[in-house]
Every structure is written in structure tokens, then in C-alpha cells.
Amino acid sequence: MGEHVSQALKDHITEMALGLLEEQMQARIVHYRADLETNPELDAVTAQVVAQLKVIQASAGAGERGAKNRDAIRDAHERTLRALLERVIREDGISLLVERRLKKIHKNLARLFFQSELHEKTRGRDGAPKVIHHGEQALFYVLTRYKNRIEAELEGFEFASEEAREQSFELLAKLTKDMQDAFLSRRSSELRRIVSVVHVVLVDFFGERLAPSLGEVAAKVVRDARTYEGRAFAYKVTSEAFPRFRAAFERTLMVMLVGFAEDELVAQLADTAGSERDETILFITDPHLFSMICGEVCEGLYEFLCNEGFLDLPPDWRRASTAPSDS
């Protein structure tokens, strides 16, 4: 960390310490009441004192949640969010967090690519049948399309033994798998090129587009999510406000990502050789691709913000993940 702690980090620690102190004070009141419940008379006095304290707290809380206090909480959320994001999204190079997420994006990118290749029709567009570029591709589509019918035909044969019957189904499965592997191997060079270009474009996106705009991003997310309303603390976003925070954060990031990356991807991959160019362009402009990228980036950032004490993540926060499904 060096000999000196930055002022931004000091401010962040101060905000957290004050917030934790407030929560600890409220917890002590509850524990104090529990410890004193030893006899009816003392319980009655304790209950009266606690009731009075709750009235005072409620009145104070209502006053503190006025317009002035909401503005203060909003400003604190904006400052803290910006300071934390600046630690992992930098102009001088990618951080360890971003590097790890890029590796996951590469793996998911390969899965999406192969899934799209194996579909007979283009997903997410007009559903038009794909143009056949390789013999193995055509055979794979046919074997997949008529899989149930072929298996039904095999079931209708009279086999000399159960072993011969099982062997016929195994050969069908092997033939289908061989055609799939041979077809996908022909497309692996294009996949490597796509992964390489996506990596470069995303690195540029983080360093050239997102990093210089983190102040604007933090302000927009906090204001759109209204994290300062209701039960709010200056040093963190509560779990109740997280769904609003998530929606605002992902929309903001997605708009910026698509606005920057789509043009770059098309410009750098439009020189795909031959008639396969259309397939490549359709793939890199597929919403599933951007959804996957945004989902991976946001998941990493949410975990980081939670570990730093800024986000209270609800237990089921991953349930509505933006990660792509297998469908």
C-alpha cells in the first residue's frame, strides 16, 4: 500500500467506521433489553425505556431521512462507488479482477460460438437456415434433425443379439459426434480469431471508454437506483436496494459496452474470408454475446463491492444471473 494512505481510502474507511458504529449502537440496545429481562418489575421498566428509545430513534430517523440527509447519502454513495471502481477499472492497464473475468469470458465465448455453429438456424435473427460450408456440417445437421426417427427405425429391426442392437446405437452416436467434431475443428481458427479480437476490444473498452467515465457512471447508477431512499446508510447500499442498484448498473454498463464494442468488433472482424463472413458478423452482434460479457463483468464487480463493504448482497442475488443459459 506504500507509506501513505490515499485521502480517498481514508474517506472510505471513515464512512464505513461511522456506519458500523451506528449499527453496533442499535444492536446494543436490543441486547441490553434481552439481558435485563430478569424479573417482571425490571422487565416493565426496561420495556418502557426501550419503547421510549424506539420512539426517539424513529423520530430522529424520520428527521435524518429528510431531503438534506438523502442528498448527503447520495453524495456518499457516488463518491464511494467511484473510488472503489477506480481501483479495479484503470486507464493504465487491466486489474487482476478484470483479467480473471476476461478469462471466463473467453471460455463462455467459445461455448456460445460452438452452440451457434451447431444450430441449423441462425439464433435471434430471422431464423433462416444456415448456409452449408462443409460436408461434415451437413451430415451433422441431418443426423441431429432425424435422430429420433433413425433411432425408431433401429428399434424396429430384429437383432440377433442385444449386443448387436447396442452396437448400432453406439455407432450412430459415434458418427454424429465425429461429424460434429470434424465440423467444429474447421471453425476453430475463426473462433481463435474472434476471441483475440474480443479480448483487445474489451481491454480498450475498460481503459479508454469506461475508466475515464467512472465519475459519471457512479452518479448515474446511484441516482437511477435511488440507493439513498428508504432505509439507507451513507457507507453502503442495503440488500433491499440492491435490485434497483443492479438494474441501474447493468443498464448503464450495457449501453456503454454495446455502444463501444459492437462497432469495433464489426470493423475488425468484417474481413472474414468467403461466405462465412455473414455467420461471423451475426455471432458478434448477437445480444447473447453482450449479455454474457456484461453478466461476467458485473458479477465480478458485485463480489468486489460486497467484499469492500459497499454492497449488501442478498443471499439469492445470483438467481437472476445474466449469464447465458444453454437454451
Are the C-beta atoms of 190 and 276 separated by less than 8 Å? yes
- On whether the CB atoms of residues 132 and 138 are closer than 8 A, the answer is yes
pLDDT value for 14: 36
Q: What pLDDT is stored for residue 327 in this prediction?
A: 39
What pTM was estimated for this model as a whole? 0.67
Q: Which residues, in sequence order, are CB contacts of 19 under 8 Å at separation 6+?
A: 233, 234, 235, 236
Q: Is residue 109 part of a domain?
A: yes
Lookup result for grid cell 476471441: 195
pLDDT of residue 60: 53
Gap between the Cα atoms of 309 and 237, Å rounded? 9
Give the total number of structural domains in the chain.
Answer: 1
27 within some domain:
no
Alpha carbon distance 212, 209 (integer Å): 6
pLDDT tens-place values along the chain, 327 residues long:
444 445 564 444 334 434 543 454 445 444 444 444 456 665 665 666 666 656 655 555 555 446 678 899 999 999 999 999 999 999 999 999 999 999 999 999 988 888 877 776 655 455 667 777 788 888 888 888 899 999 999 999 999 999 999 999 999 999 988 888 887 787 788 888 889 999 999 999 999 999 999 999 999 999 999 999 988 899 999 999 999 999 999 989 988 888 888 888 888 887 655 556 677 887 887 888 888 898 899 999 999 999 999 999 888 777 544 444 443
Domain that holds residue 80: 65-123+189-307
- Domain-located, residue 128: no
257 found inside a domain: yes
Residue 217 lies in a domain: yes
pLDDT in the model for residue 13: 37
| 237 within some domain | yes
Nearest to 123 by CA among 320, 285, 274, 271: 285
Task: Note whether residue 99 is domain-resident.
Answer: yes
Q: What is the Cβ-side half-sphere exposure of residue 73, based on CA atoms within 13 angstroms?
A: 23
Residue type, 200: V
Residue 155 within any structural domain of the chain: no
Listing DSSP states for 131-177 in one string gives PP--HHHHHHHHHHHTHHHHHHHHHTS--SSHHHHHHHHHHHHHHHH
